Structure 1
């Protein structure tokens, strides 16, 4: 049986992401693996809006506040993993495109050999228009991907 060494889990505060974290913790314990908990502030979504409305539309203080909130909520998740017995836990808070960050950038940065993500709750129309993160990551990641429902 393959033994995973570094498990990357994407979290965004959704119920699906919480389920993914629970599964990633379980797998990290079974494999004695490192766990990387990643939250990506999807700047693509708000930068386009700011460009359409003018460069000054995006409030830098609000962005810093959002990143701080992600850090705080991520710290709670790190403590959850440590309480479950995972000793090697890393929190990654970053900005960018969440799809490429989880499928490529963070996999490379941490040499992850498994990505765990929650299934999205978007409807069919949203998936056609913007594509789901899960679908993109499954299609583009060069490592195993587990989609948790």
Structure 2
């Protein structure tokens, strides 16, 4: 049914459950897994007036975020390979996480996207937004959302 499944992860406990489900789905279908983490760009205007960060500071912070993302993806690769699933990993740096997930799915010619819903409600959802909702409403691909 599926040839290539993209799983989006932020490394959270809920995302780890989605990863486990995506690995199982890939294994059952003989599909390849593409694990993607989107690392946000450092919000340079977020701290205007509160603190001064040099380009070196920002570069160091972004490097730490990328290294943490890669460590998470390396763990996913080990889990997938242990289940006999062929896996590719990708770290994407972007301001718009949902758009980056959709673009990665297209780039890797994925059949479906698997991701977690963090279940934010009310004001938290309004303030923090929902990347899952964005992917659901903007992707042409089927999206499997796990809670």
- TM over 0.5, shorter chain: yes
What secondary structure sits across from 2:7 in the alignment? strand
Equivalent residue for 2:59? 60
Residue 59 of structure 1 deviates from its aligned partner by 2.0
Contact between 2:11 and 2:69, CA under 8 Å: does it hold in 1? no
Equivalent residue for 1:83? 82
User: Which deviates further from its counterpart, 21-30 or 124-133?
Assistant: 124-133
1:122 counterpart = 2:120: yes
Residue 129 of structure 1 deviates from its aligned partner by 2.8
After TM superposition, what 4+ stretches of structure 1 lie above 4 angstroms from structure 2? 50-55
Please give the alpha-carbon distance, in whole angstroms, between the structure 1 residues aligned to 2:133 and 2:9: 16
Equivalent residue for 2:135? 137
Instruction: Supply the RMSD in Å over aligned alpha carbons.
Output: 1.9
Normalized per residue, the structure richer in helix is 1
- Count of matched residue positions in the alignment of Structure 1 and Structure 2: 144
Equivalent residue for 1:21? 19
- Structure 2 length-normalised TM: 0.88
Please give the alpha-carbon distance, in whole angstroms, between the structure 2 residues aligned to 1:109 and 1:51: 35
Please give the alpha-carbon distance, in whole angstroms, between the structure 2 residues aligned to 1:82 and 1:52: 48
- Structure 1: give runs of 5+ residues left out of the alignment: none
1:49 counterpart = 2:46: yes
CA distance 1:123–1:61, shift in 2 (3 Å): same
Contact between 2:114 and 2:145, CA under 8 Å: does it hold in 1? yes
- Structure 1 length-normalised TM: 0.87
